């Protein structure tokens, strides 16, 4: 059974990693609405409601953010093929390019973090992350 110390360590490590990731996004001038591009790229097409649930953000914030991304030419809105009352969101070619840029930035940061470890530490961490991924994301582990 995991101890409170181990649980706290996991939360602390995850918080620190995501704080560094947010800092990288901020330094690259990637603002809040831009952050919707990655989940949309992974799950498109999807409705604004689905996107809001996925990212756990308020419906009105997501709506305004999507409107900004549409105005920038990064997101397309179209009636759903399955339900004409629903608007589906997809990325435009420019949106896919921006999402790829953001992914590359975050991957570069993650690589930098992993390079702070020696080879043995990194191998042990990768093994542990695979186990953690199976526990947290059982249907999505590759």
Bond preceding residue 127 cis, omega within 30 of 0: no
- Note the pLDDT of residue 140: 58
Higher-pLDDT residue of 25, 32: 25
| pLDDT reading at 106 higher than 90 | yes
- Note the pLDDT of residue 30: 86
| pLDDT reading at 94 higher than 70 | yes
21/15 Cα distance (integer angstroms): 10
26-80 pLDDT tens trace: 898 887 777 899 999 999 999 998 999 998 888 899 999 999 999 999 999 998 8
- Note the pLDDT of residue 136: 87
Query: What single-letter DSSP state applies at residue 109?
Result: H
108-142 pLDDT tens trace: 999 999 999 999 999 999 999 999 988 888 665 44
Identify the burial level of 89 via C-beta atoms within 10 angstroms of its C-beta, where 0-12 means exposed, 13-18 middle and 19 or more buried.
buried
Q: Is the dihedral of CA 21, 24, 26, 31 positive or negative?
A: negative
Average confidence (pLDDT) over 3-25: 91
Query: DSSP string spanning 6-58?
Result: HHHHHHHHHHHHHHHHHHHHHHTT--GGGGGHHHHHHH-SEEHHHHHHHHT--
| pLDDT reading at 86 higher than 90 | no
Query: What single-letter DSSP state applies at residue 116?
Result: T
């Amino acid at each position: 059974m995991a101890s409170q110390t181990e649980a706290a360590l996991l939360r602390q490590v995850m918080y620190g990693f995501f704080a560094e990731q947010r800092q990288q996004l901020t330094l690259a001038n990637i603002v809040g609405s831009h952050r919707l591009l990655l989940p949309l790229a992974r799950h498109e097409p999807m409705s604004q409601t689905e996107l809001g649930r996925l990212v756990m953000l308020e419906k009105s914030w997501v709506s305004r953010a999507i409107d900004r991304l549409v105005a920038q030419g990064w997101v397309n809105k179209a009636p759903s093929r399955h339900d004409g009352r629903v608007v589906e969101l997809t990325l435009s070619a420019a949106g896919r390019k921006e999402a790829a840029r953001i992914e590359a930035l975050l991957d570069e940061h993650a690589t930098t973090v992993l390079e702070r470890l020696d080879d043995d530490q990194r191998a042990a961490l990768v093994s542990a992350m695979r186990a953690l991924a199976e526990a947290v994301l059982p249907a999505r582990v590759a």
